[in-house]
Each structure stands twice: as structure tokens, then as C-alpha cells.
Structure 1
């Protein structure tokens, strides 16, 4: 974020952690609520973004993702609740937190009659941590990083939606950040552009940068994120590590064997639910464990070629969560999953 107020030497950042202590969370909200007239856009959201994570904020359009992000960055004042960003209360700590944040929110906005490069030069000139002599180099590197070198000198008004999105991403990556926020970063991109954005996110994660990605595309979240927060009608219905969430559903095991009929009969004889599927046996682990399944099959003389745990897909998990919230039937164990500290 480039809009920052000057600080005097006597001013101190309104930190929420003890001096020298590093926050475990890069961002946190508690009881966050935003109301526009009679419309509740965000309803008591408790969001945790672990340091170094790539968190996918997942939800359909209108679920409150962008409004939550805008409050997180101090762009919109909450109706109620608190926000902490990089260890500082927001919006009071914006002058200290935002220079460490790169953000692309609700699509980029640039001067239409300037080229992409000229627009980025203007953005870079407002960066408090970027020296004037370093601006051309930083702009060139950001343009190359998002694959926009061939169109950098074209006027912005002639850009396609995907090119505009790339330029917005470049503006968020002008210099190293501790926290990067990307709101629908693959919007308007072709498959090649989508792969490039995935690569950028992977590079940021490898460098230790915390990334918050807002999306309604399940495949993109599953391909790029380490953590997930699912929003539905302004509320968080699940959050936690992606792997843990996907494995917290109904446990299943896939057994590859040429002795399918013998395997199914042996498991059923031991009251273990199993059914035949192509190339193997599908086993329900609700009342047993994987070692017990393998022991039962080996004891029955079944040739076991491969055993792998079959986890819930993100699409299945998302559908179950949102349907549960829609019906108002309360949340299941997976919905209330919390990462161990």
C-alpha cells in the first residue's frame, strides 16, 4: 500500500504485542462486522492469517470477502469489531503496517492515457521504502515478473481485462513485502496467465511472505493455498489448514488389489464397510483404522498393491459447509476445526 502518512521520531507504533515479540498471526479480526444501511455485509468474522501462510479466502460473490479485506487494510471502517495487521491495530496503525503490505483489491485502477510502465512509475514514486534511484529497476522487474513486458509501453486504456489484472499485480510487487493481499488475482486471465499467478504466489510463499488470496474459484485455492477460510453470507463457516480441513471429513481408504471380490468379502465379514470400485476397493474408516484394514486383507490372503487415504475434495467440503450454514442446522466438527497452536 502506498498511501502513508509521515511519522515523527517521537511517534510510536500502536503495536498490540510486547516489544521484540513477533506475532504468530500476520492478520487477525475479532467480531468484525460491517453494515450498510439494512444490509449486513460482514457478520462477526473471526479470521486468523498465520505468518508465512497462503490463506485462501473462499466464498461465492457477495459472501463478504472483499469487504473483509477492505476493513483489514483500513480502507473501510468496521461497524464493530477489531482488526490487527502485522502486529498493529487498524486503522490507527496503518502508517506502520501498510508499507509492509502489497495489495490488489477489487481490480486495479490506473490512468487510462498513460502506459503500463508510466502508471507503475507513478505508483512507485509514492512508495516510502523505495528510493528514487531504484524506481526504474523495481518497475522493470515487476513488469517482467507478471509477464507484461511486451505491453508495458502501451496505453492502459487499450489493455484487456487480464492485462489490467497483471498490471495491478505488478503494483503490489514493486518491492519485497511481509504481507501480500490479492483479491481475485486470476480474474480475466487465460490459462497461461493463471499459471503465472500461481508461480508468483509460490515464489512469495517460498520467500516467507504471508499471502491472502480471495477467490470464488475452488481449483485455484486448492492449487495455491496452505490454509483456507470459507465465507458464506458474511460469516466464516470454516477455517484452518487446507490439508487438515480436507482430511477432517469422512475418512476413506482406497485399496488397489487384483483380488477385489475376496477383499470386499473379507472386509464385510469383519464388519468393515467396503465396496468395489474400478481398480480396487473403497473402504469406509468410520469404525476402523487403516492398519486394521490392511491386517484384515493380508490375513485373508489378499494381494495388496497400494493403500492410500482418500480425502474430501475442496468442492465437496465447500458444498457441505455452505449447505449446512444455509439450512441453519449448525456446524459439524469439520466446520469448527481449529489449528493446534
Structure 2
């Protein structure tokens, strides 16, 4: 028998793995303006979590409180098992972060800037610094431009150097705030590859991004913020399935299927793949039963997967707090 897990932990045999980061009732007020409002966030260990939200939704403020860069007005923050900000000295050596763009000396080269960052890295000895810097530059595709002054870098190159500074040593937790900002498609693919490598190595990654396609391609989990509130969080696949309200039926008798369903007052329409059925007022078993009764040959039935862009729009298009309860109908219980 397995011991019952605490909320927010992942069972592994008889042991549990706590989240890499979590907040409870997190709130931040700036001069009467609420930036973050009672956020309960959990970043599962080993996950790649995408943090999504419109501009001003509280994403960066939440990240800064996670890292101990901003003191919460109220609430609790735990990072790698340590209470923040008091436990920063113990937690932060295991964390690499790129927040709100990199800040480097404009008159130093990319390599010299990175050498200065590495000199302050507690997990590197002096002898290890040159190799660590060279490997980080190579990893983000900047080895060829390492000798150029930072002020001559493009926006994308500056972003790459910031990413290199976060990856100077192996990390348990990596936080990337808009990591593909200013990157061309090739650079974006490289960042995607870096995130995949981190995930494969067991590193937890938190990515704040406005590029929904990149989040859908790289993340295992998602948290959606809106007006300082977390309106949804959980496994990406589960959230996308929860947002599905359509059923795709594959049949050679499309017209017969549509007529039969409409006769039973079920909204349906023909699509290139077959028949698309609206499940708002019915269920998948009832749809299949209606088709079978009408003698329609059914070759395949599957839920039409919702894209992240559609789900994001549904979660954030209405910002009234009173309407957040209505959003619960879109989500599984563990994502509410």
C-alpha cells in the first residue's frame, strides 16, 4: 500500500516529490494597485510549465516574488523546498533565471560579461569558469560572436546571452521570462531545443511567454493568469481536453449522419473529416446511440482537440471576477 500523498505532491512508490515551487495566497499591491491577487500556484518537479496571461496579468510580478526579488504584500512562497525570501541563500544556487531581459555591461564583450557573471556563481570554482562560459556560449549559439561588444548585439543575441547566464551550471529549476523575445525562427527553435534538453535532464522549467504556439510545443503544464488571478492550471493535455466541446465522427454517410442528429435536436455539421457534433447539450454516448439507431455506419469517434489559443481566449476574454465561476465548467477538478 502507498501512503497518501499530501496535496500538491507527486507519489513515487512510497515517497512523495514536492513541487519545485509553490505559492499560497500570494498577493502584491503597488500603491493601491493589485498586481497579484491571492495566487495559489504549483510548479510540479520535472515539469515544463508555461505561464500565460495578457499584459498586466501579474506573470512577471509572480516570477519576481518566486525568486525573492520582490517581497509579497501577503502570502507564502516556497522554492525548491525553502521558504522565500528567507531561504534564498539555500534555494537560489539551484535556480537559473532570465527575467525581464538580460542586463549586461554594453562596453564588454559577450564572453567578458559572462565571465563576470560566472565569477559570482557559487557553484563554480575559478578553474571551472572558462569551460563553463565556453560551453554556455556554444549552447545558445553565440560562440562565434563571443568577442563582440554587448552593445553591438541584436535583441535576439542579447536574449541568448541572458539565457547562457542562466545555464552556466546544471540547475534544478530554470525560470525563463519571454525567452524567445527578439529571436528569429532559427533562434526560437534553438530555445525550444534547450528547453527540451533541460526537461530530459529532469530540470523543472517555468516559461512565461505570449507565444502560445511555443508553449503548446514545449510545455507539459500550463498556468493561466488574468488580472492577477490564476484562472486555470494543470497538465496541458488535460486542460485542452477539458476545453473540448465537439465530437468528430468519421463516417461514409455524412449527410445521413447530419440529418439523423438534427432530427434528435443535436447540433451537427459536415466537415472534411466527417461530421462535427456540438456536445454542449448532449454526450458522446448519446451521439453514437443516435447514429446507430439511424443505421449510420460509424468508423471512428473522437473529441475534437481544442488548441491552446482557443482555450486561452475562452479563459481570458471575459475579465470579470464574477464570471470566473463559469470557467470552472471548462476545467477538470484538479485544474480549478
Q: Do the two structures share a fold, i.e. TM-score over 0.5?
A: yes
- Separation in 2 of the partners of 1:166 and 1:303? 55
Partner residue, 2:3: none
Q: For residue 339 of structure 1, give the secondary structure of its aligned residue in structure 2.
A: helix
Deviations 1:119-177 (A, max 9, x none): 11111121111122222111111111111122111110100110000000011111111
Q: For residue 234 of structure 2, give the secondary structure of its aligned residue in structure 1.
A: strand
Q: For residue 175 of structure 1, give the secondary structure of its aligned residue in structure 2.
A: coil
- Separation in 1 of the partners of 2:16 and 2:179? 29
Q: Residue 244 of structure 2 contacts residue 303 of structure 2 at CA under 8 Å; is this kept in 1?
A: no
- Separation in 2 of the partners of 1:23 and 1:302? 49
Q: Residue 27 of structure 2 contacts residue 74 of structure 2 at CA under 8 Å; is this kept in 1?
A: yes
Q: What are the within-5 Å matches in structure 2 for residues 173-252 of structure 1?
A: 173-252=167-246
Partner residue, 2:145: 151
Q: Residue 245 of structure 1 contacts residue 334 of structure 1 at CA under 8 Å; is this kept in 2?
A: no
Partner residue, 2:303: 309
Offset, 1:273: 3.2
Offset, 1:96: 0.7
> Which structure 2 residue ranges, 5 or more long, are not aligned?
1-8, 10-14
Partner residue, 1:339: 334
In structure 2, the CA distance between the partners of 1:203 and 1:129, relative to structure 1 (3 Å rule), is: same
- Separation in 1 of the partners of 2:263 and 2:83? 60
- Separation in 2 of the partners of 1:145 and 1:123? 16
In structure 2, the CA distance between the partners of 1:334 and 1:47, relative to structure 1 (3 Å rule), is: farther
- Separation in 1 of the partners of 2:290 and 2:57? 47
Q: 2:82 aligned to 80, 88, 107, which one?
A: 88
Higher mean displacement: 22-31 or 111-120: 22-31
> Which structure 1 residue ranges, 5 or more long, are not aligned?
1-16
Deviations 1:254-303 (A, max 9, x none): 12333210121233345543211234100133455545545654665545
Aligned residue pair count: 321
- Separation in 1 of the partners of 2:43 and 2:321? 28
Q: For residue 331 of structure 1, give the secondary structure of its aligned residue in structure 2.
A: helix
Q: 2:71 aligned to 61, 77, 84, which one?
A: 77
